[in-house]
Structure 1
Amino acid sequence: MSTLYGVGLGPGDPELLTIKAARLIGSADVIAYHSARHGRSIARGVAKPYLRGDQIEEPLVYPLTVETTDHPGGYRGALADFYTESAAKLAAHLDAGRDVVLLCEGDPLFYGSYMHMHTRLSGRYRTEVVPGVTSVSAAAAVTGRPLVEGEEVLTVLPGTLPPEELAARLAATDSAAVLKLGRTFEKVRKALTDAGRLDEALYVERATWDTQRVETLSEVDPDTVPYFSLALLPSRRAADTATANATGPEQRQVTGEVVIVGLGPAGRPWLTPEAQEALAWADDLVGYGPYLDRVPPNPRQRRHPSGNTVEADRAALALELARAGRRVAVVSSGDPGVFAMASAVLEVAQEWTDVPVRVVPGLTAAQAVASKAGAPLGHDFCTMSLSDRLKPWDVIASRLTAAAAADFVIAIYNPASKTRRTQLEAAKELLLSHRAPDTPVVVGRDVGGPNESVSVVGLAELDVSTVDMRCLLIVGSSRTRVVTRQDGTRQVFTPRHYPAS
């Protein structure tokens, strides 16, 4: 029985073919290869040193090279017809008892053209796939940079993905290769920028060819980028090791770091590129369990969830891990410096001065709620927490009274909980002693989450029984206004100017 061989040629250097690939190319009855309409074939050029010279050659000529066609089925329909016709050509040789080698750049089943013939013919004929060196492996080789090390994760992406998905995947992985550049190059570069990883990216063109090019991706002219090129994010860990080994012996110890990361109010759209990069960089994630659940899982990373009232314990664990050489991200909802983990970690870190600690900001809950209501924080405002777990109520009451008397807009965190039901009622009475009953109050619940709700009520009408820890309140000043738009929606804003005194 005749056989169809899908033979991987590797990245372009004829010396990088496997021995088996070279043997099959030299012994086959028929050599098939894809080519453009001008007749030249990159695959045939790579295999040329191994051809006998008397074999039947079957070029499979693509009907188009760009996604413009008058085919009734569009671009996909035109290619489907082409693959069907090509399969029929190869089947004719196989039916005649001839072995067919179909040449494929790189690896036949790694974004390879051979797979379209394999799916159409493997059920009818004997087939064998001969793997080849991929362009990704070749790119790593010519840059001299490891792809991955230890437990790092490599992600391979086509540049044709939507830009938002590219950015998200690049931010969430350790190492990456983005193929199919050419016309997608500028989109890929923007995705790398949005993911906070442009400075790490290398550009590799025609790896292992005589005309290969390796550059820092940020410096590449988009007009010079061909299809046979890729973007590479090599191993960070290997880069760290190389940097350490290039220094003196006294500096070669690789130290860890604690990064306190603000996740924003909820979900990836609220996460900054810097925060995404810090999360992807980490070996360990430490945090309150529900906040850790908001970070997509990475099998390379270890997670250390804990309860809501053990901030000091979390901080000590993170510092211990970092001292042992681990890169640790302590996650925090909103901004870590606003009623969150940054101060808790830095307080404990006073006794750990040898461990680097830095803070990555996040979008605050106050900003998120304000944006949904309009612009209530448009003038002077203050931020307060009504929780008396860590400070006495008389301090809260005196500060709230001072802020109300000074006519600040007030963003109120932690307004009430299951066990704290009297504080908000007391706060309301204090505010009413300085604010008009119709002062606008924005009540935001679960902003950014699946149960988001935002309402605006007068201060006197505020129903404190409906408020809990998932809420944030913004109490307007004497200048805060509510506008009802033609569609019935209400927007709250505080003017930036005061009337002349």
Structure 2
Amino acid sequence: MSGRLYGVGLGPGDPELVTVKTARLIGEADVIAYHAARHGRSIARSIALPYMREGQIEELLQYPLTVETTDHPCGYQGALDDFYVECAARLAAHLDAGRTVVVLSEGDPLFYGSYMHMHKRLAHRYPTEVVPGVTSVSAAAAVLGRPLVERDEVLTVLPGTLPGEVLAERLRATDSAAVLKLGRTFEKVRDAFAEAGRLEDAWYVERATMGAERVAPLKEVDPDGVPYFSLALLASPAERTFVGGAPVEEQRGEVVVVGLGPAGRPWLTPEAQDALAVATDIVGYGPYVDRVAPNPRQERHRTDNRVEAERARHALELARSGRRVAVVSSGDPGVFAMASAVLEASADYPDVPVRVVPGLTAAQAVASRVGAPLGHDFCVLSLSDLLKPWEVVAARISAAAMADLVLAIYNPASRRRTWQVAAARDLLLEHRLPETPVVIGRDVGGSGESVTVTTLAELDPDHVDMRCLLIVGSSTTQVTPQGTVFTPRRYP
């Protein structure tokens, strides 16, 4: 008796958006099959991983090419057709042996999905079931918080690979639209929106519901680095109409200083998400404000990084007028961030409530990537001498070194501060052995993440910038042969 083939939709990226049925089938399957580019990394597998079990057979269906040229006698399509035939034969062997085969597909299996190529070759030969999934279009609308279509409006879904003039024509003729497969097609798609007169209303959504999710007006997006997993969305043009119900009771203004953690959504606490959700105004340093998903009902106040006092007073003034203000900081707002500035300024605003919502710190994030270097007593200090003289910084470095504390060093360097890392290293070497472990964490949790384990003697200041955090070990900090760094809780 032959096995059964399932094409299952995993949704747009968040493992919690996998349907109950898909999760069950993944856990029960004998064989899990998934597509990947030549690098071998599969987004589909990463989404399904929480539902997989040990002992399952995995079939990696690795494309022979993506956008490259080929010497196949039938060209690009011929190479892909041969690939699909070979993949179908591999799956058929499992089905002939009576095994249940689940083919993973991001989004919905029959909506621009790779699964359909297996379906066309196998569904007429074996018992088959397709389990639908949440599409990227639905996810983008949900992330944006705007309806796709209302009443008798028309939604048009377009691939960005169409010619620019065809895209513009279709965009002019529809109410709402989603343009998929951006990546290399982004500039052409953006130009088509402009030609159709729809650019002002268009939004860009990248990796909807994933950790690196990003939302922005389409016209403001830099074409460099736009990934394939992004789309342009033209939401419903209908105005929102509210009917019935009592008027919303006017709320008293407040300021909430919110820690965003070191990177994207996975590092954001539920309490921080709630504070951001109810805010009427988002205030902060520009790049941190940009990490909060845009919401049309909220006002965003982006400022320079050197105006903390002015930013704090502005937030308090907004709250005094009845606004609910979220002042955002990277990491934890109480660690070299905005909480102290807001609380200091609040002395002049005794009628405005201020509360602080903590966030995961950069030190914790970097430490987690290598093990547990902060496992014993440690010291947190900033290498910046903008708000305190270098003599104070140097004295504290020496004191912490003499006390044999692990050091977590923030703000190690910038474009204008380039010598402090070398100076700090030399101070530490007066009290620490040259082989003392040093961890350099850069953009942890972000797209440019890198983590390096080196020693105090080999610490190269040229490899350190403002986006880095350093962890310098104590006399007991150890590095295992596998590269794990930890500081024992027991002291000699």
Q: TM-score, normalised by structure 2?
A: 0.51
Q: Quote how far apart the aligned CAs of 1:462 are.
A: 0.4
Number of the residue aligned with 1:496: 489
From 258, 264, 275, the equivalent of 1:261 is 258
1:145-294 → structure 2 map (5 Å cutoff): 241=249, 254-294=251-291
Number of the residue aligned with 2:379: 382
SS of the aligned residue for 1:460 comes to coil
From 125, 129, 138, the equivalent of 1:74 is 129
- Tell me if 1:343 matches 2:343: no
Cα distance in 1 between the residues matched to 2:370 and 2:247 = 46
Q: Quote how far apart the aligned CAs of 1:421 are.
A: 1.5
CA deviations 1:231-268 (Å, max 9, x no partner) are xxx99x97961xx7xxxxxxxxx420100010000111
Distance 1:238 1:452, change over 3 A: farther
SS of the aligned residue for 1:484 comes to coil
Q: Quote how far apart the aligned CAs of 1:271 are.
A: 0.5
Letter aligned with residue 74 of structure 1? E
Distance 1:416 1:357, change over 3 A: same
Whether the 8 Å contact between 2:211 and 2:266 is mirrored in structure 1 is no
Cα distance in 2 between the residues matched to 1:321 and 1:454 = 40
Distance 1:461 1:76, change over 3 A: closer
Letter aligned with residue 368 of structure 2? S
Q: Quote how far apart the aligned CAs of 1:74 are.
A: 2.5
Cα distance in 2 between the residues matched to 1:381 and 1:404 = 10
Q: Quote how far apart the aligned CAs of 1:166 are.
A: 12
Number of the residue aligned with 1:311: 308
- Tell me if 1:478 matches 2:475: yes
| Equivalent pairs, count | 270
Cα distance in 2 between the residues matched to 1:166 and 1:388 = 37
SS of the aligned residue for 1:74 comes to strand
Distance 1:460 1:238, change over 3 A: farther
Cα distance in 2 between the residues matched to 1:289 and 1:385 = 21
1:123-134 → structure 2 map (5 Å cutoff): none
Cα distance in 2 between the residues matched to 1:271 and 1:76 = 31
Cα distance in 1 between the residues matched to 2:393 and 2:414 = 16
Q: Quote how far apart the aligned CAs of 1:417 are.
A: 1.1
- Tell me if 1:457 matches 2:448: no
Number of the residue aligned with 2:163: none
- Tell me if 1:406 matches 2:403: yes
- Tell me if 1:431 matches 2:424: no
Cα distance in 2 between the residues matched to 1:476 and 1:334 = 22
Number of the residue aligned with 1:418: 415
CA deviations 1:313-372 (Å, max 9, x no partner) are 111110011000000000100000000010011111111111000000000000000000
SS of the aligned residue for 2:457 comes to helix
Cα distance in 2 between the residues matched to 1:400 and 1:348 = 30
- Tell me if 1:355 matches 2:410: no
From 392, 397, 400, the equivalent of 1:395 is 392
Whether the 8 Å contact between 2:211 and 2:265 is mirrored in structure 1 is no
Letter aligned with residue 419 of structure 2? T
CA deviations 1:148-191 (Å, max 9, x no partner) are xxxxxxxxxxxxxxxx959999xx9xxxxxxxxxxxxxxxxxxx
| Two-structure CA RMSD over aligned residues (Å) | 3.1
Letter aligned with residue 422 of structure 1? W
Cα distance in 1 between the residues matched to 2:472 and 2:410 = 11
Distance 1:446 1:166, change over 3 A: closer
Letter aligned with residue 453 of structure 2? V
Cα distance in 2 between the residues matched to 1:306 and 1:469 = 18
- Tell me if 1:441 matches 2:438: yes
Letter aligned with residue 497 of structure 1? R
Ranges of 4+ aligned residues in structure 1 off by more than 3 Å:
164-169, 237-240
SS of the aligned residue for 2:359 comes to coil
Distance 1:370 1:238, change over 3 A: farther
Cα distance in 1 between the residues matched to 2:256 and 2:373 = 32
Cα distance in 2 between the residues matched to 1:337 and 1:426 = 27
From 367, 370, 384, the equivalent of 2:364 is 367
SS of the aligned residue for 1:425 comes to helix
Cα distance in 2 between the residues matched to 1:395 and 1:238 = 58
Cα distance in 2 between the residues matched to 1:354 and 1:168 = 38
Letter aligned with residue 285 of structure 1? I
Distance 1:238 1:433, change over 3 A: farther
Distance 1:306 1:168, change over 3 A: closer
Whether the 8 Å contact between 2:279 and 2:326 is mirrored in structure 1 is yes
SS of the aligned residue for 2:480 comes to strand
CA deviations 1:71-94 (Å, max 9, x no partner) are 9442669xxxxxxxxxxxxxxxxx
From 296, 299, 302, the equivalent of 2:296 is 299
Letter aligned with residue 129 of structure 2? G
SS of the aligned residue for 2:484 comes to strand
From 328, 331, 348, the equivalent of 1:331 is 328
CA deviations 1:57-80 (Å, max 9, x no partner) are xxxxxxxxxxxxxx9442669xxx
Which has the larger Rg?
A: 1
Distance 1:110 1:309, change over 3 A: closer
